[in-house]
Amino acid sequence: MFFSILDSPIGQLVIEANEREICALGFPAVLPLENPNELSEMAKEQFKEYFEKKRKHFDFPMAQPGTDFQQKVWDELRRIDAGKPISYAALAKRMKNPLAIRAIASANGRNNLMIAVPCHRVIGSNGDLVGFSAGLWRKKWLLEHEAKMTSIGQSSLNF
């Protein structure tokens, strides 16, 4: 495995890659030794651009293991526009599976490619911030950051 580490405004982001794709992203308490490859460095550059408000989407190769259902949820997460968070219920409706809210929330929680597969863009039905493995303060920061990038402004976000 290969690792690149980015000092970001919300902590040290660890980018994990193999020879073909980025396979995990996160903010671990214990950092691995940096051992980059071309892909992890490509992703690091794209994340720099994201944090500098120059990029909203990521196009580096990425993959994570999961069931067919989880893959569908993660694909749908990538279709949520930056700066426009939606509820789990709205995500279930978009997926034409309105009774699968809990299963969708579970798949969302198993996402190992946070930010690139933007699980942080899913909020509670009442607008509350819920469930983000990197901490709700990071989720709030990411949503506010994206709102500024899309000129929606913070005032439209209710958290």
What average pLDDT does the segment 13-36 reach? Answer: 97
25 has pLDDT over 50: yes
Question: Which of the residues 119, 122, 129, 134 is marked catalytic?
Answer: 119
Residue-wise pLDDT for 86-112, tens only, equals: 999 999 999 999 999 999 999 999 999
User: For this structure, is 23 an active site residue?
Assistant: no
- Give the helix/strand (H/E) hosting 11: strand 11-17
Helical segments of the chain, H only = 38-51, 68-77, 88-94, 101-109, 136-149
CB 158 within 8 A of CB 127: yes
- Count of CB atoms within 10 A of residue 114's CB? 20
159 has pLDDT over 70: no
pLDDT at 156: 46
The structural domains of the chain, ordered by start, are: 2-51 (no CATH), 68-156 (1.10.10.10)
The encoded tokens of residue 21 equal 């794709």
